[in-house]
A and B are shown apart, each in its own frame.
Chain A
């Protein structure tokens, strides 16, 4: 069994624009590995391509180029071409539970679908299984015949998590599962996710824009900017020793609620500038337009990922001197 449950090699996903030969370079040469039983946080701002990675891994798009290996098996194609066991082992929770649950189907119908499709329950056993799923996310069986509109946002997202859990997936992709929710509700969802992940040993790819959330949740964090990964590091190392200027800019922009947190924010760099369009990605280092530390080489040459310490890599010329 390979050590990495998911391996993304040189993944590119370009979308055509209305003009000829111009593309939205949503994901541009991404390498990423997800270890078994790990929660990997992929953090980025809007337009960074983090959701595109999630959707490409799920098979909602086929990659423009590059390879996606799941358990050593090549799955660089759309869902319809993937074998059923892969669909069973790979599940996703979407951002907005308001649109990811069919408004015309009740909770029982929503949750029994994956069980039926993958023949995980006898017909007379299905209801009991669904109730077990609801209990797993701490919802009572009263919810069986309710429709999504009768549920609050948090409850809906718990149902969406239960649906993803139904097939007992090995890899769960979470696409901003709490960004549409209030913090008091987010806390509940995140705790449920952490509990389920440690109980069942799933691997999770957690897509988010919230760095503070990742500090408390992920084992490793990857930062994306304009379709590329800028820095990857184990969580603690990442927050104690952020290296990439973009990471530092992100960290310094986070509004925090205590003095202890403030001391962790790098004050060297303050945010400025806008995110360029993913159609016209700046040459050289794509961050140089907003970087206060840019050198001449940053305007012309794209930096490669450089290993700094164990598992910590960063794509920045500042660290390229030997």
Chain B
């Protein structure tokens, strides 16, 4: 594909801890076209954030990238590394990230204006010297874009003076001010109330579409993913178990994990709640040798125990990592 913007292939990332290495990501594949909106959906501890942090090059020190490739706009972001220390990511240009917790993402002792100006200065000012006034104008402009009322006042506010929804809008404004090709939003609305979430999600979608950016949305909510994206990656225990166009995924889920997940979501139609998925996510110190969902899977085949399934095509751009659909 000519217009592929991001291509992650066979990414293996672990965390060194006492007692060994947590083998979290196990061969992640993720492909994004320019202008595409995708979601990475998974439950707590499935490695969604680790995936995004690998792309951004902001993994913590204990993390080891053992294998894999990350290509952004045709440029390989990973440097060859040693066995022990792993590879390192070159921080990509043109990618911005919105974090889950807007309280932690903003520095409490500086005003919004100071923080926003810094971001603008460092991202745009590298080529030419920017005047104070032009930085300020740019800051006001991105705040306006983020649908924040009274941007002049907000520039002088400290983060604690803003509500949760406003803080997240400021974070989005910051991400936008570096005006990239790709926006990574890591659970941007998880801590927000549902009426605020709705507004923030609409804002992100409109801005991404207006600016022609691509969006990678990380979320645990299938509903949010459905509302926001064209294509969904379902992640379980450090593996991609299902990739499908949004419509197709909800019409006909294939992977037993996806089915269990969809069945667990309470619905407004009130048809009762599924039984959930028994068991819990595997221990990353000694993950299952074969399919990582094998210990919890009710449809497991004998070969699932020791063999890792690849992503098998089931038609319509829908691919499933499960031996049932080989």
Contact = CB atoms under 8 A, between A and B. Distances in A.
Interface of A: 45-46, 152-154, 182-188, 190-191, 209-213, 215-217, 235-236, 239, 249-258, 260-261, 264-265, 270-272, 274-275
Contact of B226 (A215, A236, A253, A256): A256
Interface residues of B, number: 41
Contacts of B197: 253, 255
Contacts of B221: 255
Interface in B225-256: 226-227, 250
A215 B266 contact: yes
A261 B269 contact: yes
A265 B223 CA distance: 13
B196 A261 contact: no
Given A183-B261, A261-B267, A152 B280 contact: yes
A216 B275 contact: no
Contact of A184 (B43, B270, B271): B43
A275 B275 contact: no
Contacts of A236: 270
B88 interface: no
A45 B199 CA distance: 15
The 3 closest A-B pairs by CB, nearest first: A255-B223, A187-B276, A253-B198
B260 interface: yes
Contacts of A258: 250, 267, 269
Contact of B268 (A153, A182, A256): A256
Contacts of B262: 257
The binding surface of chain A is classed by DSSP as helix
B193 A264 contact: no
B188 to A, nearest CB: 13
Given A186-B276, A257-B222, A274-B165, A215 B194 contact: no
A265 B226 CA distance: 15
B268 A184 contact: no
Given A213-B266, A216-B273, A257-B265, A271 B195 contact: yes
B48 interface: no
Contacts, number: 129
B44 to A, nearest CB: 5
A249 to B, nearest CB: 6
Nearest to A153: B44
B224 interface: yes
B92 interface: no
Interface of B: 43-44, 163, 165-166, 193-199, 201, 220-224, 226-227, 250, 260-278, 280
A184 B222 CA distance: 12
B195 A253 contact: yes
B276 A216 contact: no
Given A184-B43, A215-B266, A264-B268, A191 B226 contact: no
A196 B264 CA distance: 19
A207 to B, nearest CB: 15
6 contacts: A216-B267, A235-B270, A249-B195, A255-B226, A265-B268, A270-B198
A255 B250 CA distance: 13
B271 to A, nearest CB: 7
Given A212-B267, A215-B267, A274 B194 contact: no
Given A191-B273, A274-B165, A254 B44 contact: no
Contact of B276 (A185, A250, A261, A275): A185
A30 B195 CA distance: 23
Contacts of B264: 183-184, 186-187
Given A187-B274, A253-B195, A212 B266 contact: yes
Contact of A45 (B194, B220, B260, B273): B194
A260 B269 contact: yes
Nearest to B276: A187
A235 B276 CA distance: 23
Contacts of B266: 183, 186, 190, 210, 212-213, 215-217
A264 B276 CA distance: 24
Which of A183, A213, A249, A261 has the most CB atoms of chain B within a 10 A radius of its CB? Answer: A183
Contacts of B195: 45, 249-250, 253, 271, 275
B229 to A, nearest CB: 11
